[in-house]
Structure 1
């Protein structure tokens, strides 16, 4: 493991600032997936903060799977091949209740608009391509479901034919993977999510803008509620 160096923190929002500092450390390449982080005592001394604040920051990163806390062993950077450790991801989801709600609200509004535009602008060929993804969703394992779920939403963005919305969703697709994985793993099944995606597909395939908007709104409200419940549960149990 590479030597770590931090500058002492002299700010009030310690947990948020510590979380950002740890993310900077991770993004710098100083530690690789599967490697162990410095101990809480080492971090405490390097950052000149209390151990409770260190633990809270680690808890935040543990909630979404960036760090793995092994009782009696230490804290490790999670092994991942999903590419979610990119600094371009809007990790506001990690940085407190207000930011959680901001991210949820933003994604909800983007997805609803995308669904409406997709229903308005899609071609028959695109509808058939969306159906292929939906059929794979129905047959997929929980692990495969996550990638197919993201693919479904990105396909809708293609169909909406708005480059700004498409780029927004592309830029947060790793966050979407984390979101979907948390919700699906907690539920231990995909039936509820597949049903939502089926309703969205049916509305878009009929080119019914209002129905597509309503179907996506219902999906986003359910997904948001489930995500908040998972985060609260994980936060209490760490």
Structure 2
């Protein structure tokens, strides 16, 4: 069993109650990707090695998480073949707003405004509290992202890890979870956006600007980099939705 530990403003430990093992947590991450539409029935998952790299855990943990999903009838795990999604009914796994089917209840504009507000609030907290180990992990994730060009699903798995790792560095469990939930909305459309030529490369460029601000521990620069990235997400998603209407 594990418990996530955060730091409060005065540096004291702030714990978020979470009686989950690491594999349970990873299983929930997969469930969120399924509930949000990044992964659909019939999709195959990247290899265990690729998933372990993207999520920063061992292949054994990935295997355990997939076994949890398999026993619930969400994925099919066959020896010698890629794991395949066979159901989008994730039940109570993942973010509740997503798994309860409310993912489409919010407009793109509402999600954009909320995400801009939350990330602007997170930026100074993250800049003040992020540690070197987290920055190193984020740098590794950008390298992983560079290997995913042409593979939207694998990219979005690494992308979600990148953003949620930054959110957790703020030290406030409520802000972190809220930001992660907002990130997860409209991901089904983001999959289509990042499938377009040059989209992943552009997103990675934005991530490098975020990293520059993080390394400098510059909250204002981080807020600006978040804003540029989120506005690009909004514009490209709106363009996609407009073209589809």
- TM-score interval, normalised by the smaller of the two chains: 0.5 to 0.7
Corresponding residue for residue 170 of structure 2: 160
Q: Normalized per residue, which structure has more helix? A: 1
Aligned with 1:135 (options 139, 143, 162): 143
Deviations 1:21-79 (A, max 9, x none): xxxxxx9xxxxx68xxxxxxxxxxxxxxxxxxxxxxxxxxxxxxxxxxxxxxxxxxx96
Q: Per the alignment, do residues 104 and 139 of structure 1 end up closer, same or farther by CA in structure 2, a change over 3 Å counting?
A: same
Q: How many residues align?
A: 157
**Rounded Cα–Cα distance in structure 2 between residues aligned with 1:108 and 1:230:** 20
**Rounded Cα–Cα distance in structure 1 between residues aligned with 2:86 and 2:112:** 26
TM-score (norm 1): 0.57
Aligned with 1:101 (options 92, 100, 109): 109
Q: How far 1:168 sits from its partner (Å)?
A: 1.0
Any conservation in 2 of the 1:114–1:160 contact (CA below 8 Å)? yes
User: Where does the alignment leave 5 or more consecutive residues of structure 2 unmatched?
Assistant: 1-34, 36-40, 43-84
Root-mean-square deviation (CA, aligned residues, Å) is 2.9
Q: Show the 5 A alignment for 1:126-205.
A: 126-140=134-148, 141-172=151-182, 174-175=184-185, 177-187=187-197, 189-205=199-215
Any conservation in 1 of the 2:213–2:219 contact (CA below 8 Å)? yes
Q: Is residue 92 of structure 1 aligned with residue 105 of structure 2? A: yes
Q: How far 1:88 sits from its partner (Å)?
A: 5.8
Q: Show the 5 A alignment for 1:68-87.
A: 86-87=99-100
Answer with 1 or 2: which has the greater Rg. Answer: 1
TM-score (norm 2): 0.56
Deviations 1:112-140 (A, max 9, x none): 33233211211111111111111111222
Any conservation in 2 of the 1:147–1:177 contact (CA below 8 Å)? no
Higher relative contact order (CA 8 A, sep 6+): 2
